[in-house]
Amino acid sequence: MTVKKKDIRALTKEQLRDFFVSQGDKAFRGNQVYEWLWQKAVHTFDDMTNVSKQTRQMLEDNFVINHIEVDNMQRSNDGTVKNAVRLHDGLIVESVLIPTETRTTACVSSQVGCSLDCKFCATARLKRMRNLNPDEIYDQVVAIDKESRLYHNRPLSNIVFMGMGEPLMNYNNVIKAIDKITSPEGLGMSPKRITLSTSGIPKMIKKMADDEVKFNLAVSLHSAIDDVRTSIMPFNETFPLADLKESLEYWYAKTKRKISYEYVVWKGVNDTKKDIDALVKFCKYVPSKVNIIEYNPIDDGDYQQASSEALDNYINTLEKHKIVVNVRRSRGKDIDAACGQLANKS
């Protein structure tokens, strides 16, 4: 009978130290191995060169190091890189490196597929297969950091949880991954450079506030009118705007951090004055800013980007009300790497 070996990266540092003590070794060995597993992110025990051959063999007999493999890398003509990432069980997720003049941003996935059903998003078509483990989220960041150093001669500077999946539906693992990313024993990145984007799950937004997380929050709003939002994001029926508003007020009261609203404007969906006025009103509940995202068409063409007049109306009205608004140009469209296009096509 073969015994299924445990994934060593599921152990905390304490558990790893205890394991070495139980083997008659020093607890300190646990620290060494932990550093190899996270900070140096090696994929084999043989790479742990300051650990004796005998100990490496003992680890090999007891554990596996589950790790991702960048299966297919595509580079866009605007410098965006999309990784198709193979997980230890063969499933695939995608992550994206987005370079600008001053920063390199990693857009990472939190689930294989997605449990939500946003009508305009390609990932929604995949259904949710499973949550990613903390190490699988962490490894996507490590892979993009390496690519950033290789292609742009600088380390990764920012991370957004805007890839596949709904991060607040995999809350514990996302938090564990962010802890490792920000820890000096991991990548030592500042949480100020991390943004979690959610479709808006009120209960979990409150939980994040209670947990005093230090990263930024973005909410995919797309409409501030319940009927309209439910027609494009059906789960809004269960989590209506009034509940979302209340959770955001709670978030702001606890964290004092501004919220970003992600917003796409579609022709005939949310491009009227009524839609704009509702957004202005919503923006006044808590300090916030609006990121208008260009629509990236997905296959069937049911949705179309609104006219430039409609966009200008949004921008002018928001600015008139002193609400900060940014317009985000799509990146990596030619390789299906832009927002909402991640669907494991290749």
Residues lying near ligand SAH in the complex (CB under 6 A)? 120-121, 162, 166, 197-199, 220, 262, 264, 293, 295-296, 298, 339-340
* Residues forming beta bridges with residue 7, ordered by sequence position: 64
**Whole-angstrom Cα distance, residue 177 to residue 71?**
22
Residue type, 302: D
Q: Which of 94, 136, 147, 166 is catalytic?
A: 94
CB of 114 to ligand SAH, least distance (A): 6
Question: Of how many residues is the chain composed?
Answer: 346
CB of 119 to ligand SAH, least distance (A): 9
Which CB sits closer to ligand SAH, 65 or 121? 121
What is the radius of gyration, based on Cα positions, of the chain? 22
CB of 166 to ligand SAH, least distance (A): 4
Output the CA torsion 67→92→221→119 (10° steps). -170
Burial class (CB in 10 A: 0-12, 13-18, 19+), 86: middle
Nearest to 250 by CA among 200, 290, 197: 200
Which CB sits closer to ligand SAH, 147 or 166? 166
CB of 29 to ligand SAH, least distance (A): 40
Which CB sits closer to ligand SAH, 8 or 335? 335
Of all residues in the shown chain, the one whose CB is closest to ligand SAH is 340
DSSP code of residue 16: H
Q: Are 144 and 106 in contact (CB under 8 A)?
A: yes
60 a catalytic residue: no
Can you read off the two tokens belonging to residue 227? 């009927």
121 a catalytic residue: no
Which CB sits closer to ligand SAH, 276 or 293? 293
- Beta strands 81-86 and 69-75: pairing type? antiparallel
Which CB sits closer to ligand SAH, 181 or 290? 290
Cα 236 to Cα 36, 227, 303, distances in angstroms: 44, 9, 19
């300090």: which residue's tokens? 287
Which CB sits closer to ligand SAH, 117 or 249? 117
CB of 208 to ligand SAH, least distance (A): 14
Please state the φ and ψ torsions of residue 174, each to the nearest 5 degrees. Answer: -65, -45
Q: Which of 114, 121, 283, 339 is catalytic?
A: 339
Cα 161 to Cα 97, 115, 220, distances in angstroms: 12, 15, 12
- State the chain's maximal CA–CA distance in angstroms: 72
CB of 27 to ligand SAH, least distance (A): 40
Please give the positions annotated as active site. Answer: 94, 339
